[in-house]
Amino acid sequence: MSKNTSAEKLVELLGAELEVYSKILKLTEEQTKLLAKDDMDDIEAFNNSLDKRETLIEKIKGLHQEKDPLMQSYLSSEGKADGKNKDIENLIKQINEIIKQCAAYNDRNIAVMKDKTLEQTKRIDDQSSKRKGIDGYAQSVPNMPEVFDKKS
């Protein structure tokens, strides 16, 4: 494979990768909006979004496997006379920027999920405590049919 063809293929693969990362960013932004709502009905939409994102991540892994040998060849040829390819460098820069944005959204989403999890755990604990109180009261009330059936 000639260097020109490998550079073109690398640009093609990086372009495909950029497209997939852009979709991941949109899904991550969507997840952030869903988490901002305090509606449990949106949890299914959130889970669907996570599933779609996982599928895209698998696609990225496949692109990486195909791209890595070409990228290594490109990086090793950088020091030679042909220098850097502007298209490749631009695509790498765009991909890295999207990855940074996704990481920032992910950090915020994880913090929100932790807060929501703590809130739900507290609600469950409160309900459990109330239930124990009701159970204790119910045990002290006689539950004999003859007590309730007798008319005074």
Q: What is the pLDDT of residues 60-91, one digit of tens each?
A: 999 999 999 999 988 887 655 455 789 999 99
Domain positions in the chain are 3-107
Please give the model's pTM, rounded to 2 decimal places. Answer: 0.72
| Highest CATH level, class, for 3-107 | mainly alpha
Task: Report the pLDDT value the prediction gives residue 1, as an integer from 0 to 100.
Answer: 45
Helices and strands in the chain: count of H runs, count of E runs: 4, 0
Task: Report the pLDDT value the prediction gives residue 143, as an integer from 0 to 100.
Answer: 59
- The values of phi and psi at residue 44, to 5°, are -70, -40
Whole-number Å distance between alpha carbons of 16 and 8: 12
Task: Report the pLDDT value the prediction gives residue 123, as an integer from 0 to 100.
Answer: 82
Q: What is the pLDDT of residues 136-149, one digit of tens each?
A: 555 655 555 555 55
